[in-house]
Structure 1
């Protein structure tokens, strides 16, 4: 766990100092210079460092840890100073035995450990208990000490390394290519629920939609981006396999000369009716919305002798359909 006894507090603070230096690691030193009684320098600390984290990666981490979204990490902010922060706990059994906070800026890094010397549990995992101390010290150190010494100025932040990309408001390093970890595929959805179709979804309610599949390069978890309103993580919960489809009765007709009136009774199933189409020899003679069961009629003029095929299709509000065919004999 973060803050466990395996790592010293000074080591943790120095580790985050590496991020604060934009990826440059420097050894810890508590002695700057040693002189003898004659004023001769016997030992002197050298400000040497090594780039161990790519500057783009360090910048992005610093930016993430500086997020002060209200209700998320707003309580971790320092008045008048933009800082990054990280918290953690170490548990004893199922209870926290200590709290740990790091807060840092381009100028200064501060770490705080809260716990009991006998390692007994402290009864809370709320790191905001230590933030008033962090906030007070960091605000004073920056505004009253570092600012006066010219080591910090209001609004100071890290210089953004060249190459960093901003995609949909998020930061990515130059080597990240969104197409390397994404692909497209088609998923069959239900038009009514806007969720993935199942074997109970009628064919008329199914629609194929191209979606974007993204695989996180670190966690390898898959996420799917779909059009607004659709849900690729849930299945159609509107249609049931025992739903009753609409029904069509016998098709009949009467004629007066060349004009033929076609009649048919339609009955709703589980869902209310929504549309009907009547065709003769493949040509639509009626296509309209309907809302209730009952008789439907359509008139067509036929002057060619022989058999003419009549087809009736009815659809309900859940896209269940029924189709029936008949014929008209013209002498």
Structure 2
């Protein structure tokens, strides 16, 4: 009698599949068997492989796994590991059936914790909303409006992003209303503002600028990051103007980070000019913003030249710490 594979053996077998670029003979049946396993860890790993390989032929197996882990979810699928992996895999497959996504978008899973029970399903609800938006199911608008009031920040952010993807006038009006009433989490407000810029940047830029120019630091930072995430080149001027009037060092740093996020050549040039500024605080903030581009050798070379010409030992030490030269492969033991 063949020895039954242990939990570790099953996971190891799936990890081997993960290292492949696609299925080899016998891999699809093995993956189907793994998707039928009772362990949510095994199913989650198998679903990840199915999504990576774009295996549409196992979509029914993924749906069956999702339904199975809904029966006793707290006992069988803590933290929604399997269900989330299944939904993400179906999204990669561009699965056309809405049923799993609808159930995912509505699922709440209150699990025991120190103190009150904790809902572990927000990432699952967010993933469900993304799938429903792609399919464009009937009643989608109402579902997204309701999700803007979800207790979980991740779900509210996903709803705002999905409304931006819809891109209709009605979606824009909902997003504007959400921005007006605000949110306890700046990340949600920022995503709603970014979604507006995604719908029609020229039309909604004046509205977003209202938040950028606000005295409230959270609103200002939310708008700045929305502009940066939208990569809207015309945002460079407003961001730099607001930088000149901002008093809070935290806000000034966020504004320069948003400039760096634009990834436009004019934005990079502006930050390099600020590194050469007489104010060392401004120079440090600009250098910190440029750290998101530290893997760009041409930019690092330009920054090194600016820092050298500035002649500040503090900036030179900061540059050496934050922009170390890449390790030479021939020197790695």
Q: TM-score, normalised by structure 1?
A: 0.19
Higher helix share: 2
Structure 1 or 2, whichever has the larger Rg, is 1
Q: TM-score, normalised by structure 2?
A: 0.19
